[in-house]
Amino acid sequence: MTLKQTIIRNLLNIFGWRTSRHIVVIESDDWGSIRMPSKEVYDRLLKAGIRVDKCHYCTNDSIASEEDLTLLFELLNSFKDKNGNSAVITANAVVANPDFEKIKESDFSTYFYKRIDQGLKEIKGCEKVLDLWMQGHANGCFRLQSHGREHLNVARWMHYLQGDYPETRFAFDNGVYGLSTNLTSEKRKSFLPAFDFENKQEEKQANEIVVDGLRIFEELFGIKSTSFIAPNYVWGKSLEAAIAGAGVKYIQGTLVARYRNSEGEKNGKRYRYMGKKNALGQIDLSRNAMFEPSEFPGKDWVDACLADIAMAFRWHHPAIICSHRVNFVGCINSENRDRNLHSLKLLLSKILQKWPDVEFMSSDQLGNIITNNNGK
């Protein structure tokens, strides 16, 4: 590690709730979202001159198929902690995607969404995905939590669809909304931070959407999501009150969040640490380890993540590993999934070798322990 990397890793762990227990949490975002519908769509966009090959999400990320989930669950269930619990991924899921057909029928005047219980049944190889999600949740290896309604800034996307933005419209025609800003020649902000806003009207809309998403989450899975993670780590101060009213007690995220205040107030950054409470009593869970092998395949992510975990434990903090869905899916590029599952297997093996008293748990379970101050 460089001196700068060492300083940053220590800063991630200086403040916050402490424990003598070796707790490992894996937080994984984007489950349920349709980023790149298929390899055929990827090739079509690339042929049109949109450099989707320069973004590892566009290159690899799509709905996790039944095969993807089966392989992931088998791996997670093969590792048990000191309490006999399997390794677990906190699967932060969205519950809807844009309904492209209805939006087009409205001549782009109105936004419509399609719930995943309908949308996934229309995708070959994904018809039983929600059943598998629930099985994984029940078995303790795939703990469902909320990532919002959709991974999309509805107001911003609709604004550009109604204007003269040919690449945005071409992507739409192919069922794609998630083009990174560095892939397009259009000068625009990202469509992915769902709860970013420019004015009071958009702020109100964002808060209504997040509550709607939490309502659908409970309808689909029969449980409330007690933790929450905002897409792209961007949310407004007023959103915290909205999700608190829907039962969210714990807010996942990174050390620094992009914080949006109301119109006329200066936006800024929110500095977060393990166990920090906001004015509503909601508890921050701060990610202090990374395992993102899809992003830089040549990096030794196993050793890097082990170093992050060791740093967290040195400061008597839980290790919360950030690892997005893109690392575990293979419908566009099966080599991506197979390579990264091998790395995850190696990482879990070395965690158990190095810390045989490790405890695997989900974000909401960790939040409950912090609430009860059960760190011994």
Report DSSP letters for 68-130, one per residue: HHHHHHHHHHT-B-TTSPBP-EEEEE--EEE-HHHHHHTTTSS--EEEHHHHGGGSTT-TTHH
Number of domains, the chain: 1
Placement of tokens 């966009």 in the chain: 45
Q: Which residues of the chain have pLDDT under 50?
A: none
305 is a domain residue:
yes
Please tell me what DSSP assigns to residue 286: E
Does 8 map to a domain?
A: yes
Q: What pLDDT, in 10s, does the model give residues 114-143? A: 999 999 999 999 999 999 999 999 999 999
Asked whether the beta carbons of 195 and 148 are under 8 A apart, the reply is: yes
Beta pairing class for 268-271 and 256-260 = antiparallel
Helix axes 301-314, 3-14, angle to 10 degrees: 50
Q: Tokens in use for 318?
A: 């839980």
What is the β-pairing status of strands 23-31 and 359-360?
parallel
Taking Cα atoms as reference points, which of 97, 212, 215, 93 lies closest to residue 152?
A: 97
53 in a structural domain: yes
Nearest to 177, CA basis, from 252, 107, 106, 112: 112
Q: Length of the chain in residues, anyone?
A: 376
Gap between the Cα atoms of 85 and 359, Å rounded: 8
Burial class of residue 375, CB neighbours in 10 A (0-12, 13-18, 19+): middle
Q: CA 319 to CA 308: how far, in whole Å?
A: 8
Domain range for 191: 3-371
Which residues touch 232 (CB under 8 Å, ≥6 apart)?
190, 192, 193, 194, 196, 258
Whether 326 is covered by a domain: the verdict is yes
Distances (CA, A) of 231 to 154, 178, 196, 264, 317: 13, 12, 9, 23, 25
pLDDT at 59: 96
Q: Report phi then psi at 51, rounded to 5.
A: -80, 65
Residue 153 lies in a domain: yes
Beta carbons within 8 Å of 115's beta carbon, 6+ residues apart: 95, 96, 216, 220
Inside any domain, residue 376: no
Instruction: Give the count of beta carbons closer than 10 Å to the beta carbon of residue 206.
Output: 27
What is d(CA 191, CA 115) in angstroms, rounded to the nearest whole number?
19
User: Chain-centre distance of CA 102, in angstroms?
Assistant: 27
Q: Which residues pair with 146 in a beta bridge?
A: 93, 228
Contacts of 334 (CB under 8 A, 6+ apart): none
Predicted local distance difference test score (pLDDT) of residue 374:
78
Determine the Cα–Cα distance for residues 190 and 321; give it in Å rounded to an integer.
Answer: 25
Dihedral in degrees, nearest 10, Cα atoms 99, 103, 106, 111: 90
The whole-number pLDDT of residue 15 equals 87
Residue-level pLDDT at 261: 78
Helices (H), the chain: 3-14, 39-47, 56-60, 66-77, 100-105, 116-119, 129-139, 154-161, 166-173, 200-221, 237-245, 301-314, 334-354, 363-371
The CATH number given to whatever domain includes residue 259 is 3.20.20.370
